[in-house]
Structure 1
Amino acid sequence: MDESAGVLAAARWPLAVGREADWLRELTCDDGLTGFMPPALPDAAWVLHSMYEHQVGPTGWSFVEYRRRAGAPCLAYYSPLLHGAEGFDNLHIRTGTLADALVLYDHPDEDGWTPSNLWPRDRSWVLCTDYDLWVTKVAGPPALIEALLDDAELEAVRLPWAT
């Protein structure tokens, strides 16, 4: 890892309080062992491969709208299994912005692991990536799911039970 990338990641995504994920725990009725797998909010899709392979914003958004959304405060939850945790009382969460989410790959305190969940503070959508799956579940508003499904550069499939 590039040392400057690690410093940038640590500065832009500091630790947050564990109770920030309480709403996910309640929503999923889960302990978050491998991440919280959310239900449709009200829609959902699987996005194959990596979300970070796609560098262009969704079509139909103005540059101003894209930057507004990219600057949204977000939270990232890491599965306790990734850190050798024995308990689930103090969840491992970082806070930053969507625009800076790419630096999570270089975070010096995460031993190369990526977050299990990522969501904005307004809780309008949530991502869930299990460490051993090649897909990311995205749950959120229909407009978000449609943008993912309509994007020719992404492989995405609507979850049939979400409609």
Structure 2
Amino acid sequence: MKLSFKTLALCGAVATLLAACGGGDSPNTSDQSGLVTVSAASDTNFNGAYASTTTGISDVQKIRRVGATDGCEYTFDALVKNGSANVSMSGTVDYFVDSNSLSSLSISINGVLYSIANGANTTVDRGANQVRFTAVKLDSEAADTNTLVVTGNLPMRGNRPGGC
């Protein structure tokens, strides 16, 4: 089989575009602790404390947004509900460059996705390498009206791009 330069160039361009689409890398085990307490959940099985002393976190990625403020994003996983090892939490943290509050937070508990698109009651604490939130109400992304409230902190990696 003979490959042409055009075919190789096209494959390279597609790979570059896919790599630049965001989302960053997958979370890796860290030595940092995370704790999120879920309360007032429509599905009461989700209420409780989710914790890990080895929270999975990805590198923080700087997201360039055309016509909007640039953002910083990372993912987390491996927060397990206390007393119920088969219930776990993962998600995505998104905040504006040089901002001290989140722009959005998405949390998945056993595959059910909840999110909020504002930074009310949140703090990005770069010095402590963590994000904190207090009594933040998230809405289900499914076609239902389920909600939950989260309070806690999530670690983030210290080797962040400028402004993140």
TM-score when normalising by structure 1: 0.27
Structure with higher helix content: 1
Which one scores higher on RCO, CA 8 angstroms, separation ≥ 6? Answer: 1
- Structure with higher strand content: 2
The structure with the larger Rg is 2
